[in-house]
Structures are given as structure tokens and as C-alpha cells.
Homo-oligomer: A and B are copies of this chain.
């Protein structure tokens, strides 16, 4: 390998991974949501937990909010609270799947009144973005049907286009809309934005500030996700990542936990496509559920995983790779990738952290700090935050 760790440090130092406020609340499956001592009860506490992750890793300067899960009376004050903790408020995630009105859809609903309500919710989210300084409005829709015939696939798609157009028109000039796609769940027959192609045609119809959000857990089994990363970068429409990992469906496990090599390949395409260049439109976020593991350490582990794989991807000897590709040296080209993947970047990253005044081993630092026990003692009473399902 000719690339040195030193050479990749500037890029690593630019890397920022946004944390989802909801990852610090309880989550689970339809069978059970288990609580744990110390779980936050308020948006403020969730932000404090996110700030702790940033404090220990230097990797997570922003916190994404979910509205209304994180609804507060004064978002400017919430922003100041974040500021005081060393982080800022990031992406605003709309939520049109938990109100009874949305049982049969939101932006795609057959009834104009429900669409109106869902659009208005997004307009409110845009207002919040002005209050928080957030630049991204992220839309993930639960819209879909469970049975063939239940809805008109075509009419729903057309209504979706109309609804998105109205929301897009309301964006401020420095604001963006990112539209997430998902293969299935909670709808079990069809989903209105099931694949990158659908997200792409919808956001392309909107304009330059509309992008696709790629959640790494939202694809059919066997899908080559890095190909999609490449294609969306090529088309200039990759707006953001929701990182997590999966063995089966949308498991929302810790990023890199299920298939670390896939994460590496994804980041390799990000690097190749300029996604880590200065001025890149690509934002990195986590979207995970910590059903059985401790949440703060899980988020620490997650951002470290992304950083470690990014380092490996940056270490790929691209000149050697290009030569091997040119010469049809299949094994040689693959070896270039594998060499970077198998490189143990952990010691260098530990040094890098230490040099920046961060703990060399953030997980150990957290464990030894007694912070988790403190939270468990302090956060008694009240209702633990969760998805409110």
C-alpha cells in the first residue's frame, strides 16, 4: 500500500456523522420494546447523550431531530441547549406515520384533507428548520398498502409528486429536501417509494435542492448497494446516508456490525465518487435501533465503525487499482481492495484521537467514566423516550 495514514488525515478530519436523537430512546420490535435505566425522557436529554458521543469521539457534531418526537415549544432554545453541549441541531425528520389519520397514507392519501395535513406538517418542519438552522428536511414515508388492490399504485405516485412539489416550493434557498426510499415495512404489499429509482425520479422532478437519501438497510436481499451509491453520485443526487446494518430486513443494527466488508465497499465508492471531497453534497447520518444493547456506547461504536471503514477506504491504493483494472488483473485488483480492508487502522486512529485530546479508546473511557450509572441514577421518573408507537 502506497497511501499512508498521514495522507488521509485531512479527509478524516472533515468527516462528520450526524446522530439520530431517537437512537437514544427506547426502540424494539412489534413484540416488545425493552426499557433501560438512564434512557432520556426529553429531547434535551437525548441531545445531551448525543453530545457525550461527540465529546468522546470528535466525530458527531450534529444531532438529527424527529418531529413530533422531539417537538418543543422553543426550538431556538433547544438549539442553544445543543450549542452549550458542543453540538448543533441537524436534519429535521418529518413523521407522518403515527397519527391515526395516516393509517392509509400521508402525502399519497386519497383524501385531500389528509394530504393537506401531511403537507402542513412538512411546512411546519421547514419553519423549525429556520428556527434551528437545519439545512435538510428528510422525508421517509410509511405510505404503502398491505394487499393487492388496496390502493391505486399510479394515483398514489402522482399524488406523491404533487405533495412533494408543494413542500419543495416552501423550502428556503439554503434548504434541501432528501427523500428516503425503503423496500418494505411497515407496508407489506407495496411501498410508495420502494427503491432508488423511484426516489430519483421524484426528486429529479423537484429541482436542484432535492436529493435521495440512501438508508443502508432499505434494500432487497442481495442488492449491490455500492452500485447505487456510485450511480446516485454520478447523477448528482446522493444527498445523504442513513447508516445501519442488517442481516435480514430493516434490522437497524449498528453500522458495520452485520457486514463490515459491505460498509467498506460503500465507502470505497463514496471516496471514488467524490462524496468525501470538500463541498460534497453527501451527509452522513446514523439511523439505528439499540433494542438490546446500551445506547450511548452503541452510538460510539457506530461512529468509530464508520471512521475505521472510511480510513480503510481512503487507504486503497487507487493507482494500483486502476492499473490492475486496466490489465484485467482480476485477482490483483481485488487484492488492492482487500489489502486496505484487512489493514488494522485502529492503532493509528487511537493515536490520532489522542493527539486531538480525545480518549484513545472512547468506549473504555465511557465505561470507566461511570456516566451510564450516573444517568441511571438521575433519570428516574417521567416517561422514557421512545418511538411513541
**CB within 8 Å of B: which residues of A?**
27-35, 97-98, 100, 103-104, 110, 142, 145-154, 157-158, 183-186, 188-191, 194-198, 200-201, 219-224, 226-228, 230-231, 233-235, 246-249, 251, 253-254, 257-262, 265, 268-269, 272-273, 291-294, 297-298, 301, 308, 321-322, 324-326, 328, 330-331, 333-338, 341-344, 346, 363, 387, 389
Q: From A34, A152, A153, A338, name the one whose CB has the most chain B CB atoms within 10 angstroms.
A: A153
Query: Which of B110, B152, B389 has a CB less than 8 Å from the CB of A32?
Result: B389
| A345 to B: closest C-beta gap in Å | 9
B150 & A246 in contact (Cβ 8 Å cutoff):
no
B257 & A334 in contact (Cβ 8 Å cutoff): yes
Cross-chain contact of A249 among B231, B249, B291, B322 (Cβ < 8 A): B249
Cβ-defined partner of A189 (8 Å) among B247, B301, B387, B389 = B247
Query: Chain B residues with Cβ under 8 A from A196's Cβ?
Result: 195, 197
Contact: B110 with A186, CB < 8 Å?
Answer: no
CA A247 to CA B331, docked complex, whole Å? 17
Query: With A and B bound together, what is the CA distance between A308 and B338 in angstroms?
Result: 12
Across the interface, do B153 and A334 meet the contact criterion of CB distance under 8 Å?
A: no
* Beta-carbon contact of A331 and B297 below 8 Å: yes
Nearest CB of B to A255, in Å: 12
Instruction: Give A146's nearest chain B residue, CB to CB.
Output: B292
Residue contacts A-B, CB under 8 angstroms, 5 given? A28-B30, A33-B389, A104-B328, A146-B253, A146-B292
Contacting residues, chain B, for A343 (C-beta < 8 A): 344
| A149, B336: Cβ atoms closer than 8 Å | yes
Of all chain B residues, which has the CB nearest A102?
B32
- A-B pairs, top 7 by smallest CB distance, nearest first, are A197-B197, A220-B220, A149-B337, A29-B186, A188-B251, A293-B330, A221-B221
Residues of B within 8 A of A151 (CB): 325, 333
In the complex, how many angstroms separate the beta carbon of A31 from the nearest chain B beta carbon?
5
Expressed in whole angstroms, the minimum distance between the Cβ of A295 and any Cβ of chain B is: 10
The residue in chain B whose Cβ has the minimal distance to the Cβ of A154 is B230
Tell me whether A337 and B148 are in contact in the complex, defined as CB-CB below 8 angstroms, given that A186-B31, A197-B195, A226-B153 are known contacts.
yes
Contact partner of A321 among B34, B149, B335, CB < 8 A? B149
Q: A146-B330, A298-B331 are in contact. List 6 more A-B contacts (CB 8 A).
A: A103-B328, A149-B325, A154-B269, A191-B224, A197-B228, A293-B330
Task: Determine the residue in chain B with the shortest Cβ distance to A254.
Answer: B147
Q: Which of B153, B248, B273, B301 sits near A184, CB closer than 8 Å? A: B248
A333 to B146, CA, bound (A): 11
A230 vs B189: C-alpha distance when bound (angstroms): 14
Bound-complex Cα distance A291 to B173 (A): 40
Listed residue (A235, A248, A249, A343) with the most chain B CB atoms within 10 angstroms of its CB = A248
Question: Are A153 and B98 CB-contacts (below 8 A) given A325-B110, A337-B148?
Answer: no
CB distance from A380 to the nearest CB of B (A): 16
